[in-house]
């Protein structure tokens, strides 16, 4: 029996790559399954179809044509919803040619569940964050539906309280809630999405059972949530093939090759991570005081715009921003860059610590390569990830785990040089217990995908459940 699974990734090359990675694992694990990815083009992007790989080995791509991208007033979610007619047509055509076993929607594409229901197909969810945060979303939704507790109504004084989350072993501080859970505009969407998650036949989570035992136990014991399959780490370990970036990569890696083992602290804050001039200057002071070698990805924060998120830009003149003489004084021990080949950097023996925004992909990448992290979250669920890594798991040092940048709530906070220096010194401590824990967890992540490993077993269980749920 040959079956087709349809994946609908969120627009954007990052989600596309992680979805492709899990799809490849599925087709490689069972010859009965083929996968088609229905690809919504990135918003405000000119990614050509040549940017995507060719179909091969039971893995196919259905690239939807660009829609109307002229309206800047539409939100990211409404942009996804605008593609429902095209997705519906693609599913209809696939259903005429093959037996479709179900539709797997990205965590931001849950509205496509309506299309699966129209065709009488089971819906599954690919959740690109961790199981503990999925549990927080379910818990907050239950508090709202059953007790009418609306977290977006919290004021600054109430944000000091803690509450129990069933996927954590310790009380969770409200001040570490993601910004959009505290937003009147976004809270209704978060609740609606959590309800839709509950309708899934199963949820693939980009995590590892050994990393989140409390969370996985909660889901296995729960009667009110779908089965959760920890199939991580799902990582895209390939490097970009852009000529310009290849030159920059070579320059950066050549510099790292000249540094002593584990001597360099790497600072990088993801595709949307940038800071104000004052914050950048404060970070420079911290780096110089710490005395550690450093590789620092520096970019300017985007202006606050609630209608769309625009990526950060390069500073035009760093000498005007950084402390006087900083570049000269640190020329022998530091390197400032803009774009960073993060995977290659984390692979380098020279890197001893990673100051990160706590994006989940970056967190898994650092653990995979055994590099300890210092948590400096900025937006999305990163505050939760920081608490999870620092307090729950003891796998990260803290810079400030409840930090909020200005790109979500329209306010800016200053992290002091003293806080940053402390976090850097902690993450670069070669004999720390945290470093030993990170090494042990790194080993567990690698074992998870070996024969008989937890993620390998969970993926096979997911495929078997898909087969048994064929309509």
Per-residue pLDDT of the chain (471 residues; tens, 9 = 90+): 789 999 999 997 778 888 999 999 999 999 999 999 999 998 765 544 445 677 777 999 999 988 665 554 568 889 999 999 999 999 999 999 999 999 999 999 999 999 999 999 999 999 999 999 999 999 999 999 999 888 888 866 566 788 999 999 999 998 899 888 988 888 999 999 999 999 999 999 999 999 999 999 999 999 999 999 999 999 988 755 555 678 999 999 999 999 999 999 999 998 778 899 999 999 999 999 999 999 999 999 876 554 455 677 888 899 999 999 999 999 999 999 998 999 999 999 999 999 999 999 999 999 999 999 999 998 889 999 999 999 999 999 999 988 876 444 555 689 999 999 999 999 999 999 999 999 999 999 999 999 999 999 999 999 999 999 998
Evaluate whether 270 touches 357 at the Cβ level (below 8 Å): yes
What would you report as the CA-atom Rg of the chain, rounded to the nearest whole angstrom?
22
Nearest alpha carbon to residue 180 among 383, 14, 358? 383
Calpha distance 134→227 (Å, rounded): 12
How far is CA 444 from its chain centroid? 20
Beta strand pairing status for 172-173 and 162-163? Answer: antiparallel
Pick the catalytic residue from 28, 30, 106, 446.
Answer: 106
- Entry pTM: 0.93
Q: For 126, phi and psi rounded to 5 degrees?
A: -100, 110
Interatomic CA distance for residues 160 and 459, integer angstroms: 40
Query: Distance between alpha carbon 156 and the CA centroid of its chain, in Å?
Result: 27
Report the C-alpha gap between 337 and 223 in whole angstroms. Answer: 49
Q: Catalogue all structural domains in the chain, each as residue range(s) with its CATH number.
A: 3-128+200-232+449-468 (3.40.50.2000), 243-445 (3.40.50.2000)
Whether 106 is catalytic is yes
Cβ–Cβ < 8 Å for 131, 216:
yes
What are the structure tokens assigned to 130, written together? 């961790």
* Interatomic CA distance for residues 285 and 194, integer angstroms: 42
Q: CB 451: neighbour CB atoms within 10 A?
A: 6
Residue 15 catalytic?
Answer: yes
């Amino acid at each position: 029996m040959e079956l087709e699974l349809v994946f609908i990734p969120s627009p954007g090359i990052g989600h596309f790559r992680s979805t492709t990675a899990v799809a490849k694992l599925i087709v490689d694990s069972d010859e009965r399954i083929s996968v088609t990815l229905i690809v919504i083009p990135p918003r405000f992007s000119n990614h050509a179809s040549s940017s995507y790989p060719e179909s091969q080995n039971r893995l196919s791509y259905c690239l939807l044509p660009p829609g109307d991208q002229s309206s800047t007033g539409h939100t990211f979610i409404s942009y996804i919803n605008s593609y429902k007619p095209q997705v519906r047509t693609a599913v209809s055509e696939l259903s005429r040619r093959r037996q479709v076993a179900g539709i797997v929607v990205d965590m931001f594409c849950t509205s496509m569940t309506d299309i699966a229901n129209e065709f009488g197909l089971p819906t599954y969810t690919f959740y690109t964050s961790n199981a503990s945060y999925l549990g927080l979303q379910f818990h907050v939704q239950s508090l709202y539906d059953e007790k009418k507790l609306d977290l977006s109504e919290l004021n600054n004084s109430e944000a000091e309280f803690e509450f129990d989350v069933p996927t954590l072993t310790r009380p969770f501080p409200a001040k570490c809630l993601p910004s959009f859970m505290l937003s009147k505009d976004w809270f209704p969407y978060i609740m609606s999405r959590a309800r839709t998650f509950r309708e899934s036949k199963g949820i693939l989570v980009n995590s590892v059972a050994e990393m989140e035992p409390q969370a996985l136990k909660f889901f296995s014991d729960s009667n009110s949530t779908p089965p959760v399959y920890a199939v991580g780490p799902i990582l895209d370990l390939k490097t970009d093939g852009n000529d310009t970036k290849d030159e920059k990569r070579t320059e950066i890696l050549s510099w790292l090759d000249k540094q002593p083992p584990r001597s360099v602290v790497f600072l990088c804050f993801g595709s949307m991570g940038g800071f104000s001039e004052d914050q950048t200057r404060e970070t420079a002071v911290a780096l110089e005081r710490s005395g550690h070698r450093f590789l620092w990805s520096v970019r300017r924060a985007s202006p606050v715009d609630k209608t769309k998120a625009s990526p950060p830009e390069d500073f035009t003149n760093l000498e005007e921003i950084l402390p006087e003489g900083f570049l000269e004084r640190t020329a022998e021990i530091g390197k400032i860059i803009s774009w960073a080949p993060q995977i290659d950097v984390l692979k380098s023996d020279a890197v001893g610590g990673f100051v990160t925004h706590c994006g989940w992909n970056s967190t898994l990448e650092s653990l995979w390569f055994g590099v300890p992290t210092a948590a400096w979250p900025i937006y999305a669920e990163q505050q939760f990830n920081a608490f999870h890594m620092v307090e729950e798991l003891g796998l990260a040092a803290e810079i400030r785990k409840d930090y909020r940048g200005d790109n979500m709530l329209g306010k800016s906070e200053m992290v002091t040089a003293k806080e940053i220096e402390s976090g850097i010194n902690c993450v670069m401590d070669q004999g720390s217990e945290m470093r030993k824990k990170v090494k042990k967890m790194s080993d567990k992540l690698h074992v998870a995908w070996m024969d008989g490993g937890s993620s390998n077993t969970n993926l096979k269980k997911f495929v078997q459940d898909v087969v048994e749920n064929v309509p």
